[in-house]
């Protein structure tokens, strides 16, 4: 008599639970994500508190949305989220536990997708909380200087959404880099280069094709979305920020299914 197959939904829940357990055991995972709201609040307070020293002309030209989401702070969060994504699978390749994972779940693509789903859920929650804390802190300071903004004002909701979206996008891109390189140090270097180095090296002026390609990089697209006075294309930036995780995840699932461990 044929034994009925196990409930695939139960197997999927078990896979998600296993990936969550692995992720929560990463030393790099807990501290940055817990400190992200505190760190951004401190930087937002420090940045907005110095508004008085820039003078009347500076106050008039101040991009209050961009000031609410400090670029240096969010670049740090971008690298941190990407590093967590990269180590979530590159670490398994390094210590050999990826073989056990693939024996337990022969469909390797499901493993990568489960990791991506867990990463996206966790970093999205952190992104929303961090964006809310950063925006709330900055507006509390700016309101006392008669420069506060409501979430309904033009560009504010867009900047908030982009700030909340940056951590999950970075985490999934980092995951894909971990799949491609399979080595923690190499994956971390790739995350750093893609997040911080390449956006500075590719010129955003001059050749139109090169400038548009530079605008499609995750950090540059995010910068356009959180700035009300930027010259970049907002639709193109949204497209780039949403395309990156989809494209790299498709590539990662293809690579992991075809390559030997």
The token pair that represents 4 in the structure block: 């009925």
Residue 58 has a pLDDT of 52
Pairwise CA distance, residues 46 & 141, whole Å = 9
Residue 204 has a pLDDT of 64
Q: Provide the b/e sequence for 81-105 (b: ≥16 CB within 10 Å).
A: bbbbbbbbbbbbbbeeebeebeeeb
Residue 57 has a pLDDT of 53
Q: Is the dihedral of CA 205, 206, 209, 210 positive or negative?
A: negative
Biggest CA pair distance of the chain: 84
Q: Average per-residue pLDDT in the chain?
A: 83
Minimum mean pLDDT among 34-43, 64-73, 193-202: which range?
A: 64-73
Residues in the chain: 261
Place of tokens 């692995």: 22
- Cα distance between the two ends of the chain: 36
Return the C-alpha torsion angle 215, 238, 156, 52, nearest 10: -20
Pairwise CA distance, residues 243 & 171, whole Å = 14
Averaged pLDDT, 56-64: 60
Determine contact, residues 207/182, Cβ cutoff 8 Å: no
Determine contact, residues 88/170, Cβ cutoff 8 Å: no
Residue 3 pLDDT > 60, yes or no?
Answer: no
Determine contact, residues 94/183, Cβ cutoff 8 Å: yes
Backbone angles phi, psi at 112, to 5 degrees: -65, -40
Pairwise CA distance, residues 113 & 120, whole Å = 10
The token pair that represents 99 in the structure block: 């073989």
């Amino acid at each position: 008599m044929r034994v009925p197959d196990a409930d695939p939904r139960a197997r999927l829940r078990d896979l998600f639970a296993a990936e969550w357990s692995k992720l929560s055991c990463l030393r790099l995972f807990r501290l940055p994500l817990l400190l992200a709201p505190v760190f951004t609040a401190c930087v937002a307070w420090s940045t907005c508190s110095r508004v008085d020293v820039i003078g009347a002309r500076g106050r008039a030209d101040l991009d209050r949305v961009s000031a609410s989401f400090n670029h240096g702070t969010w670049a740090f969060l971008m690298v941190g989220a990407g590093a967590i994504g990269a180590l979530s699978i590159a670490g398994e390749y390094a210590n050999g536990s990826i073989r056990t994972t693939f024996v337990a779940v022969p469909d390797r693509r499901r493993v990568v997708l489960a990791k991506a789903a867990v990463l996206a859920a966790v970093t999205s929650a952190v992104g929303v909380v961090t964006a809310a804390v950063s925006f709330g802190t900055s507006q509390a300071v700016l309101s006392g200087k008669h420069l506060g903004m409501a979430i309904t004002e033009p560009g504010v909701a867009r900047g908030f959404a982009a700030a909340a979206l940056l951590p999950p996008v970075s985490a999934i891109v980092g995951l894909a880099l971990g799949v491609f390189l399979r080595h923690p140090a190499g994956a971390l270097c790739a995350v750093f280069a893609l997040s911080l180095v390449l956006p500075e090296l590719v010129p955003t002026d001059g050749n139109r094709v090169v400038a548009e390609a530079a605008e499609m990089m995750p950090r540059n697209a995010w910068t356009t979305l959180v700035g009300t006075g930027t010259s970049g294309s907002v639709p193109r930036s949204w497209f780039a920020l949403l395309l990156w995780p989809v494209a790299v995840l498709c590539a990662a699932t293809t690579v992991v299914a075809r390559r030997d461990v």
